């Protein structure tokens, strides 16, 4: 996995004429290797890191706290990072889109799923009916999920029902071009 140091920044834009690089960007946290998700939860930031499988809360004073157990992470069959992708706080709930199973790891019930942090610090599977849920957004009482494995937009209703909203046309490949890949 290609690792790089990433400093999370917050832009404080007060008035456009007074902007300079020094006045509008303030580092708030560093030490992450592969930030994949960032959300605000009141006065704290929630960060997901593909390089460690962690979901971290960073308070206003800079203190860090891992939320829940470490999620499965690693590289997929193409050598790309997989693990906790997008993170969001919706209606006070911390939600994470968890990617597919890392190539060198056993399958986990948390793979291919949309997860919710529970009050006791565990992860609850809202649905695992995805191939590779990459991102999502709240839309009223449902969540709209970008499933990069299915190349589709999916909806997850409050009752757990998953429906396909739109499937994007597949990119055509020469015969045999993908024969070395996993069926996912």
Is residue 103 domain-resident? Answer: yes
Is residue 18 domain-resident? Answer: no
Could you tell me the CATH number of the domain that includes residue 147?
2.120.10.30
Indicate whether 2 pLDDT > 80. no
Give pLDDT, residue 50.
Answer: 92
Report the predicted TM-score, pTM, of the whole model to 2 decimal places: 0.77
Is residue 100 domain-resident? Answer: yes
Mean of the pLDDT values across residues 58-67? 93
Give pLDDT, residue 16.
Answer: 41
Is residue 101 domain-resident? Answer: yes
Indicate whether 168 pLDDT > 70. yes
Is residue 175 domain-resident? Answer: no
Indicate whether 19 pLDDT > 60. no
Give pLDDT, residue 12.
Answer: 29
Is residue 97 domain-resident? Answer: yes
For the stretch 74-91, pLDDT in tens is: 998 888 899 999 999 998
Of residues 182 and 68, which shows the higher confidence score?
68
Give pLDDT, residue 71.
Answer: 96
Is residue 132 domain-resident? Answer: yes
- The contacts of residue 127 (CB under 8 Å, 6+ apart) are 113, 114, 156, 160, 162
Is residue 91 domain-resident? Answer: yes
Give pLDDT, residue 10.
Answer: 31
Say how many domains are in the chain. Answer: 1
Domain range spanning residue 117? 6-12+23-167
Mean of the pLDDT values across residues 155-181? 82
pLDDT band at 177 (very low <50, low <70, confident <90, very high): low
Tokens standing for 124?
């609850």
């Amino acid at each position: 996995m290609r690792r790089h140091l990433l400093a999370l920044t917050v832009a404080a834009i007060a008035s456009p004429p007074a902007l300079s690089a020094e006045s509008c960007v303030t580092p708030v946290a560093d030490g992450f290797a592969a930030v994949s998700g960032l959300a605000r939860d009141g006065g704290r930031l929630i960060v997901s890191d593909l390089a460690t499988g962690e979901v971290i809360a960073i308070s206003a004073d800079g203190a860090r706290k891992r939320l829940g157990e470490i999620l499965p992470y690693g590289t997929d069959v193409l050598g790309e990072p997989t693990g906790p992708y997008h993170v969001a706080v919706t209606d006070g709930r911390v939600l994470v889109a968890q990617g597919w199973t890392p190539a060198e790891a056993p399958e986990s019930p948390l793979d291919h799923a949309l997860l919710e942090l529970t009050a006791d610090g565990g992860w609850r599977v809202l649905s695992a009916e995805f191939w590779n849920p990459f991102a999502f957004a709240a839309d009223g009482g449902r969540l709209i999920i970008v499933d990069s494995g299915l190349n589709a937009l999916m909806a997850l209703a409050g009752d757990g029902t998953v429906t396909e909203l739109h499937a994007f046309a597949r990119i055509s490949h020469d015969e045999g071009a993908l024969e070395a890949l996993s069926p996912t």
